[in-house]
Amino acid sequence: MSAELETVFDLTLTVNGVAHHESVEARRHLADFLREDLGLTGTHIGCEHGVCGACTVLMDGEIVRACLTLAVQCEGRHIETIEGLSDSGRIAGLQEAFRTRNALQCGYCTPGMLIAASALMDIEPAPDRAEIREHISGNYCRCTGYHAIVDAVEAALAARTEGAR
């Protein structure tokens, strides 16, 4: 550990499969780094203190709050944002279910909702509505469209089960 007090760091990390090398201030949180430094504005910022879930991203495959993670703490990590998940087609079924079930109104919470929901689908084969609600309880929808969102996740799970047969 250096005796010098450093406030700016060279950061190397992978975002959506692409290696990035950037200079960042230690005080820059990951959500601002993604939006301001990399131009990946699909990661939204709502409350900036870990309550609303709009900034949810994947770090090494697990959902985290980008506003409660400092960019400098992501040295060597693999970050995936809504842009990466969307472009890869990995959540196409979930996105289609959100469209058909009208599970987005203003759309502000949608990237975080999709990432949180896809993380649930990754770990639980058949969650019930109560489990879906519990899992997305950390993601606020200020349009209060929760019912449709739970419907959409349920529909995506059903479509996946159907497709697997």
Binding residues (CB under 8 A) for other proteins: these are 1-2, 5-7, 9, 25-27, 29, 32, 48-50, 53, 56, 59, 62-65, 67-70, 72-73, 116, 119-120, 133-135, 137-139
Nearest distance in Å: CB 38, other proteins:
17
Nearest distance in Å: CB 20, other proteins:
19
Indicate the residue among 87 and 122 with the shorter CB distance to other proteins: 122
Indicate the residue among 12 and 100 with the shorter CB distance to other proteins: 12
- Let me know: does 67 contact 48? Beta carbons within 8 Å: yes
Helix, strand or coil for residue 152? helix
Indicate the residue among 23 and 73 with the shorter CB distance to other proteins: 73
Nearest distance in Å: CB 87, other proteins:
22
- Let me know: does 133 contact 150? Beta carbons within 8 Å: yes
67: nearest Cα among 80, 78, 79, 53: 53
Indicate the residue among 71 and 103 with the shorter CB distance to other proteins: 71
Nearest distance in Å: CB 162, other proteins:
26
Distance CA 62, CA 120 (A): 10
